[in-house]
Structure 1
Amino acid sequence: MIRSTIMALAICLACSAPAFAAGKIGIINLVGITANSDVGKAADKLLQDRFGKERTSLEKQGESLKKDMDQFRKQAAAMSEDARNKKGRDLQTRIQEFEKKQNDLNQRIAPVQGAVDKQLLEVLSEACSTYAKANGYDLILNYNPSITPFASESVNVSEGVLAEANKIWKKKGGKFNVK
């Protein structure tokens, strides 16, 4: 008797429980959106305008230094000890100067990059949220093949989020607030 009462109660509860529908989930390619969105392009342009020439100059210096080091290694055996020591000290001094310039540039870039990244992520986050609310999505995830081995193309909402990010960026004036 108790067993049948418990079974009847369980059946009643199971039938009266609200149906749980799976939430609507979308995926985005955040790297692609960042690269193709107006805000992402503006971020790249700002950093290139501010630091591009210095980066290029440092890259050339680094290549020249590497070339000189390779040449020194090849010729070191044929050089006199004094010449080898002098050339080695000169190269060491150039390496230290190069590393100092590189560190100085990185320290100047870091706060600007941080401010730009923060604002870029705010725009992208707002774009995801706005798109999700407007289209009935409960969750939008960044697609990562190593974590999510398969996702149907039908759940890819990258284009919609990209369009939304461009609208939001334009509405915000299309400029970064960076010193």
Structure 2
Amino acid sequence: MRKQLWKLGLLWSAAIWPTLVCGQSPPAGKIGVLNIQAAIASTGEGKKAFGDLDKKYASRRQDLQDQQQAITALQDQLSKQNTALSEEEQRRLNRDLQEKQTKFKRAQEDAQADFSADSNEVVNRIGQKLVRLVDEYAQQNGYALILEGDPQRMPVYYVAPQIDLTEEMVKRYDTANPVAADTSTPNLSAPPPAAATRPPVPRAPIPKPTEKPKP
């Protein structure tokens, strides 16, 4: 789960200010932050969904890697053997290279489009349920404002740990939306995940080709 395959920037005014009382000012509401992207990926449902996507696109990712290796090998052949090849052989290899590059680009774009569509479906499904929980939590706990907590998408120079609601909302989401335990055989050779580490954004299945100039 490293190119970001979804974009979900949310800015919520999640709670309603208390009704004004005659002669009094409304009490100040609390402010919180929520990294919505990390929260979605950290839920049990999110981990399972993106893990399933990774498995679904494994074969297409491998096919793209194989195509890229074939292109690189042909580029190397043209570069190293350029002077030894006849003009006819050079033209044939260049046509072959162009065909492979065209096929690779088409397969790459198709895979990216399909992966993005599947990823967006997961994000929208989980995000809609998470937003409802955040709205409920904010009103019950006196929050006047809950902001996006990812500094890469919203410039925040300091956030006190006490107002970061990401882990709390992940817990509440998992309680409201339990996921069946995975019964598959665990990979005992894999090292345990580091504590308090959020899962990364699902990776795109598309390798980036290395461009080389034609001889």
TM-score normalized by structure 1? Answer: 0.73
Whole-Å separation in 2 of the counterparts to 1:50 and 1:63: 22
CA RMSD, Structure 1 to Structure 2 (Å): 2.6
State the partner residue of 1:68.
Answer: 74
**AA partner of residue 142 (structure 1):** E
Query: Within the alignment, does 1:27 sit opposite 2:47 as a pair?
Result: no
Q: Is residue 61 of structure 2 the alignment partner of residue 58 of structure 1?
A: no
Q: Secondary structure at the match of 1:170?
A: coil
SS at match of 1:25: strand
Give structure 1 stretches of 5+ with no counterpart: 1-15, 175-179
How far apart are residue 101 of structure 1 and its match?
Answer: 2.0
* C-alpha contact 2:130 2:173 (8 A) present in aligned 1: yes
Following TM superposition, where does structure 1 have runs of at least 4 consecutive aligned residues deviating by more than 3 angstroms? Answer: 106-111
The number of residue pairs the alignment matches comes to: 158
Pairing of 1:85-164 with structure 2 (within 5 A):
85-145=91-151, 147-164=155-172
The aligned residue for residue 198 of structure 2 is none
Greater relative contact order (Cα < 8 A, sep 6+): 2
Larger radius of gyration: 1
Select between 129-138 and 87-96 the one with higher mean Cα deviation.
129-138
Name the structure 1 match of 2:43: 37
Supply the distance in 1 between the matched residues of 2:99 and 2:170 (Cα, whole angstroms): 48
Provide Cα deviations, 1:100-128, integer angstroms capped at 9, x if missing partner: 22233334434433322210211221232
Identity of aligned residues (%): 25
Tell me the TM-score normalized by structure 2.
0.63
Deviations 1:40-75 (A, max 9, x none): 212212312322221222123223323432442343
Q: Which whole-Å CA distance do the structure 1 matches of 2:77 and 2:94 have between them? A: 12
Shift in CA distance, 133/87, structure 1 to aligned 2, threshold 3 Å: same
Alignment partner of 1:79 is 2:85 = yes
* Deviations, residues 154-173 of structure 1 (Å, cap 9, x unaligned): 211111111012123228x8
